[in-house]
Amino acid sequence: MTINRKAILMIQLATISLLVVACGSDGGEVDYSKHEVISGQAQLDPVAGTAQLPLDAYSASFAEDNIVDYAIDLKLAKCAQEEGVPLQAIDRRTFSPRVGYRTFGIWVLDEAAKYGYDVRPRTADEQKILESNTAVAGTEDTIERCLNEAVDSFPRVQQVETLAGRGEIESYDLTMSDAEAKAIIADWNSCVEEEGLSLVEGATLQPNTEGASTEQVLEIAIIDVQCKQKLNVVQQLADIQASYQTVFITENQAALNAERAKIDETIAIAEAYIGENG
């Protein structure tokens, strides 16, 4: 997901997930008692700060989203230029994820030491690319019309409306109520509290940073991540979530395949357009 697609999705579906009954493709309830936790099933990359869970295969990746974004930008720029607006396409395909995987909070020590709980800033090259276009007064209507036409040319599956999106939320909710996960989180709570930190009441895996200076926030973030690393918190929780996702996939395979096919179709259209116009 782009930016922090999972985090955004979880906010959007927070209320919906309370109303949705876990169901398989046949309309029956998913039997999650069959879930089996496999150590390392969630593929974490501590260098990039990313993760690959089973349901990720049925959603557009950060790189795939950037392909579609570039095709949209190319079509937008072409339309605008035909209307006399000097707009250039922005190619984000070389960009790196700024947030990465934060379903269970920050967990990469190097980033915690540099940025605390903030996201990684863009590189100088990325910022230069983004600033390559300057708005021209009086062209807003043209740009809006061209943008709408460009977006319509590359139809996206809205993650908040998909079965895969619902499965991500469902698996997260199940993980948070899982007895093993609760024990892992309790161990982390004890670890950070032993280091002198307090926790945000009612929150999960969230140290209290209220009133802390910038330097103190960095120190809190480091302790947070060190305790997660010491106890292998993120890998264990991600593996538990992956186990629930595996069951969800098994019972909804055909529908998930259909959703992925729509994503692949749009990517193929975008790649063809880039090949002709990029």
b/e code 109-118 from CB counts within 10 Å (16+ = b): bebbeebbbe
267-59-118 Cα angle (round to 5): 105
b/e code 56-69 from CB counts within 10 Å (16+ = b): bebbbbbebbbbbb
As beta bridge partners, residue 199 has 207
pLDDT tens by residue, 233-261: 999 999 999 999 999 999 999 999 999 99
pLDDT tens by residue, 106-135: 999 999 999 999 999 999 999 988 888 776
Other CB atoms within 10 A of residue 207 CB? 23
Number of residues that make up the chain: 278
Model pLDDT, residue 16: 38
- By CB atoms closer than 10 A (0-12, 13-18, 19+), residue 92 is middle
Percent composition of the chain: helix, strand, coil (DSSP 3-state, to 5): 60, 5, 35
| Lookup: tokens for 101 | 């995987």
Q: Measured between alpha carbons, how far is 164 from 203 in angstroms, rounded to an integer?
A: 25
Other CB atoms within 10 A of residue 169 CB? 20
pLDDT tens by residue, 165-176: 999 999 999 999
- By CB atoms closer than 10 A (0-12, 13-18, 19+), residue 51 is buried
Model pLDDT, residue 61: 93
Region 64-88: mean pLDDT is: 95
Q: Measured between alpha carbons, how far is 77 from 150 in angstroms, rounded to an integer?
A: 9
Residue 98 in this model has a pLDDT that exceeds 50: yes
What does the mean pLDDT of the chain come to?
Answer: 89
Model pLDDT, residue 133: 75
Model pLDDT, residue 3: 37
| Lookup: tokens for 166 | 């619902």
